[in-house]
Amino acid sequence: MAPAAQQEVKAPKGMPPQMVADLLKRYAADMQLGNWKETLAHELYDTAILKGGQVLRKGDFSLFANPIGERSTYITADATGYTISEEHTNMTEARRIGSGRAFIVTGMYANVTIVGSTDTADDEAADATAPANATPTGGEVNAAGLLQDMQHLIGFELVSDEVKFERGKLRRFTSPQGIMGFAGTSAAGVGTVVNNGLGRGYKLPIPRDIFGNRDFGITGRIFRDIQILKTVRIEFILDGWLIRSAR
C-alpha cells in the first residue's frame, strides 16, 4: 500500500459537501500520523490530593491542567500549596502533550489511596499535624465508608477540544492495580484493606485520539459536599499508545 503522502484522495461523485469535508479532514489526520515513526505503550497521569479533616465542596476541578514545576493546592478548600513534581504528574505542558505527538487513549483509571487513620502527614506541605477528626472510633470502617462516598459522589469525564467523551462516577473508573487504598490499623493491630479496583480497569469501547497541539483534560465533578476524614490521593491515569516523530 502506498504511503499516506503518496495516496490520492478522490471523493465519490455526488458526495454531499459536508461528507467531502469530513473525508479531507480524515485524510489530513492520516497524513499527519503517516509521518510519525515511533509508537510506544505509555500512560499520562495526574494527581488530586484531598487533605484530611476538611470538606470537599460541591463543584468541579480539573486534572492535567498543571504541569511539573508549577504550584498547586489541595482540592479540598485549603490554601496550603506544594510544588508539583513527577510524583504527581508526567505532564510538562498544561493540557497538552506537545507538538509532533499524538496519544491514543485506550483506558481510564483512578487509583485511590486513603491514608491510614493515624498517618495524616502531608509531605507536599511538610504538615505533620493530625486533623482533630482524623482518628474516629473504628477508623477502618470510616475509611471504607469514605471510599464508598467518593465512589458515588465524584464523577469524571474526558474532554478534548471542549468535546466531552467518556463520563461516569468514580466507581466506573476502577484501578487495574487492584488494592490501592488502606485504612488504619484497629485497636487489636489488625489492618483492614480498602479496595477500589479488584484488578479490573475500565477500557474504552472506542479509543480516543489526543493530538499534541490540542487541549485535553479530565474534569472531576463533586455532586455534593463530602467530609474528608483522612487524606486521600486520586491518581488518574490515561492508558494507551504514544505516537511521536522518530528522533
Q: How many domains is the chain partitioned into structurally?
A: 1
Number of neighbouring beta carbons within 10 Å of residue 114: 26
**pTM (predicted TM-score):** 0.74
Q: How many CB atoms lie within 10 A of CB 8?
A: 6
Q: Is residue 90 part of a domain?
A: yes
The verdict on residue 238 lying in a domain is yes
The reply to whether 1 falls in a domain is: no
Instruction: Measure Cα distances from 125 to 51, 54, 71, 88, 191 in Å.
Output: 10, 15, 11, 14, 27
Domain that holds residue 101: 38-244
State residue 220 phi and psi, 5-degree precision: -95, 140
* 11 found inside a domain: no
Comparing 15-19, 71-75, 134-138, which segment has the lowest mean pLDDT?
A: 134-138
165-199 pLDDT, tens per residue? Answer: 999 999 899 887 755 444 444 444 344 455 566 66
pLDDT digits (tens, 9 = 90+) for 70-89: 999 889 866 778 899 999 99
Look at residue 22 and tell me if it is in a domain: no
